[in-house]
Amino acid sequence: MARALHSAVGGSTRRSNGNRPSDELLLDAARDVFDLTGYHATSMEAIAERANSTKPTLYAHFGSKERLYRAALEREAGKLRGWLFEAYESAAGLPMEEQVRADMLAFFHYATEHPSGFGLLFGDTASGPAAEVRDDLMQSISGQIAVRIRAYYTQRKLPPPAQSAELLASMLAGIAIHGGRQALALSLPPADVGEFATALAHAGLQHLAPAQMEMIDRQG
């Protein structure tokens, strides 16, 4: 699979200073190798070599290849979540369209600045730990967006939407996540895809009538 967004594993290798390698260093190596070759094709030997460490050290720190994989995924999900939530906080209070733009571009800027982590989270793995961590991340992002949608209504002294806010938030998150995955798969510049995703989200919001959200809420 094309990898415009990842940094090659064969780049500079960290050298040990004689101390026991940290979990962070080992997770960095695991992230890079899993992103490049995928879970099944990755060996613990390759990760150990990337980290300038040994297989016994990897097993001592993480217990198994699957646990190492999950730990790498969960760390990258936590980093992306923190990055996005900080962007959400910075954009709070802006007009809704400007918030959406800031949200979308924050996601794709992360893909540009953290290509291996992004690739690990949003590669083509459709099951197992990757899918579980990705689904949990999407729910977390959608939940935060829904909170902000309701806050936008409340600030304007309008009745906050109920389940329609959750639906709209999930759709907006989906545009970013699936757009990012396509950028990864097609080797497209994430910044350009981010602008396209922003335009798509804006177009949808401009044609979203309050009556449509009310209709969704009445179904609850």
- Tell me the per-residue pLDDT of 35-48, one tens digit each, with 9 for 90 and over: 999 999 999 999 99
Structure confidence at residue 123 (pLDDT): 83
- H/E stretch holding 56 reads helix 55-62
Answer whether residue 11 shows pLDDT above 70.
Answer: no
Helix, strand, coil abundance in the chain, percent, nearest 5: 75, 0, 25
Is 23-63 a domain of CATH 1.10.10.60? yes
- Tell me the per-residue pLDDT of 90-134, one tens digit each, with 9 for 90 and over: 988 888 788 888 889 999 999 889 999 999 998 877 678 999 999
Going by C-alpha positions, the residue among 2, 7, 179, 32 that lies closest to residue 107 is 179
CA distance 107 to 41: 28
DSSP character string of 137-173: HHHHHHHHHHHHHHHHHHHTT-PPPSHHHHHHHHHHH
Q: What is the pTM of this model?
A: 0.82
- Tell me the per-residue pLDDT of 150-192, one tens digit each, with 9 for 90 and over: 888 888 888 888 999 999 999 999 999 888 888 888 888 888 8
Instruction: Look up the CATH superfamily of 73-218.
Output: Tetracycline Repressor, domain 2 (1.10.357.10)
Q: Are 30 and 120 in contact (CB under 8 A)?
A: no
The full set of domain ranges for the chain reads 23-63, 73-218
CA distances from 93 to 32, 108, 156 (A): 37, 22, 11
If one counts every other C-beta atom within 10 angstroms of the C-beta of residue 99, the result is 21
